[in-house]
Structure 1
Amino acid sequence: MVRKNFDQKLEQLNQNILKMGSMVEETIHKAVTSLVEQDIDLANEVIENDDVLDDYEAKIEHEAIQLIALQQPVAKDLRRIDMISKIATDLERMGDLAQNIAKFTRTFEGEQLVKPLVDIPRMGELVQGMIRDSLEAFVNLDVEKAKEAAKRDDKVDKLDSQIFRELLTYMMEDPKTIKQGNMLMFVSRHLERVGDHATNICERVIYMVTADWVSY
Structure 2
Amino acid sequence: MMIDQHISSAFDRDLEGVTTLIVRMGGLVEEAIRKAALSLSQRDVEMAEEVREGDRVIDALEEQINEEAARLIALRAPVSKDLRTVLTVLRLAASLERIGDYAKNIAKRTSVIAEMGPVYGSDGALRRMAREVEQMLQQTLDAYVRSDVSLAEDVRQRDQDVDEMYNALFREFLTFMMEDPRNITACMHLHFMAKNIERMGDLTTNMAEQIIYLVTGHVPEDARPKGDKTAYVTNTD
Shared fold by TM > 0.5?
Answer: yes
- Counterpart residue identity of residue 34, structure 1: S
- For residue 141 of structure 2, what is the aligned residue in structure 1? 135
Whether 2:194 is the aligned partner of 1:184: answer: no
- For residue 106 of structure 2, what is the aligned residue in structure 1? 101
CA distance in 2, matches of 1:2, 1:151: 39
Given the alignment, which residue of 11, 25, 39 partners 2:30?
25
Q: Runs in 1 of length 4+ with deviation above 2 angstroms?
A: none
1:47-74 deviations in whole A, cap 9, x for unaligned? 1111111111010011001101100112
2:58/2:100 contact within 8 Å kept = yes
**1:53-92 map, 5 Å:** 53-92=58-97
- For residue 210 of structure 1, what is the aligned residue in structure 2? 216
- For residue 110 of structure 1, what is the aligned residue in structure 2? 115
Most deviating of 27-36 and 108-117: 108-117
1:94-137 deviations in whole A, cap 9, x for unaligned? 00000000011011233221223221111111000110001111
- Counterpart residue identity of residue 125, structure 1: R
2:40/2:110 contact within 8 Å kept = yes
Q: What count of residue pairs does the alignment treat as equivalent?
A: 216
CA distance in 2, matches of 1:155, 1:86: 24
Give 1 or 2 for the bigger CA radius of gyration: 2
TM-score (norm 2): 0.89
2:113/2:189 contact within 8 Å kept = no
- For residue 171 of structure 1, what is the aligned residue in structure 2? 177
CA distance in 2, matches of 1:188, 1:160: 6
Give the deviation of 1:89 after TM superposition: 0.3
- For residue 125 of structure 1, what is the aligned residue in structure 2? 131
Q: Which runs of 5+ in 2 are unaligned?
A: 1-5, 225-237
- Counterpart residue identity of residue 8, structure 2: R
Is the partner of 2:115 in helix, strand or coil? Answer: coil
Q: Which runs of 5+ in 1 are unaligned?
A: none
- Counterpart residue identity of residue 170, structure 2: F
Whether 2:159 is the aligned partner of 1:153: answer: yes
1:14-63 deviations in whole A, cap 9, x for unaligned? 11100000000000000000001000000011111111111110100110
Aligned-pair identity in percent equals: 41
Most deviating of 110-119 and 80-89: 110-119
Is the partner of 2:92 in helix, strand or coil? Answer: helix
- For residue 193 of structure 1, what is the aligned residue in structure 2? 199
CA distance in 2, matches of 1:78, 1:159: 37
